[in-house]
Structure 1
Amino acid sequence: MTLSSVAKTPLLLVLLAFGATAALSACNTVEGMGQDTQAVGEATSDTARDVEEDMED
């Protein structure tokens, strides 16, 4: 190993750590967004069902 390749190794590790952190937090955000979207869909369905029942009465 040369001195320049040893100096690049910590920089590479730091960049990989930042990349992994960004990727993991992005996955968490997308999962949360999916759950929020599902909750909105369920609330819309519930409201539509309630309105339909009120119209039948």
Structure 2
Amino acid sequence: MGRRSTRSAADTTGMWWQYRCHVSFALWKSPWSVDPSSTRASYMDYVRNGCQ
């Protein structure tokens, strides 16, 4: 039997958007704060908010 994830698809999507934002626009930031509890409506919202 496989393990079920306790994360929702929205959590995963938000983390992906944060990661993608850092790779595309904020390579200079250290450390990258990819936070599963951070929620934005869209990828562009992360970009506008400095990938946070």
TM-score interval, smaller chain? 0.3 to 0.5
Larger Rg: 1
The normalised TM-score by structure 1 is 0.32
Higher relative contact order (CA 8 A, sep 6+): 2
The normalised TM-score by structure 2 is 0.35
